[in-house]
Amino acid sequence: MHILAALFIENIEVRPAPGPSTRLDLTGAHFSTAAPAPVPVTIEPHLVVIVHNPPDGRPDAALETVYRRDGEQIARNVQPLSVEPGKFNYRLVRAELEFLDYGTVEAHCRIDLGPEIVVPFTLLPPVG
């Protein structure tokens, strides 16, 4: 099993398509956001991780996401992942991220201790 993509998003919708096939409609993909209030603030961005299991792959694995700021772990999420061989799936990962100052957090995503995909998320000062 391997990760195809990982993005912070506002919304995801799954819809059928002819084939049978499935479409993932992702909206609001982003890598930064303005804080809802001055720091300190806690936010819960939505991270979607899209995975593929090759035809000869095992159907079960673990998805681990470690959030780091300046190399230090600030949150961690581990969840089971079940994907039929030859198919695709996705998981939503949520974490409460506390920001004492504006800056960047990196989400390090991997399956079964495999290679990581790193997705940055930057909190900006509030607008207005």
CATH number of the CATH domain containing 97? 2.60.40.10
Q: Can you give the pTM of this predicted structure?
A: 0.93
- The DSSP string of 66-114 is EEEETTEEEEEEEEEEE--TT-EEEEEEE--EEESSSEEEEEEEEETT-
Q: Are 32 and 43 in contact (CB under 8 A)?
A: no
Number of domains in the chain: 1
Which tens digit of pLDDT belongs to each residue from 58-104? 999 999 999 999 999 999 999 999 999 999 999 999 999 999 999 99
Tell me which residue range forms the domain holding 19: 2-124
pLDDT value for 20? 81
Percent of residues, the chain, with pLDDT higher than 70: 100
Which tens digit of pLDDT belongs to each residue from 43-56? 999 999 999 999 99
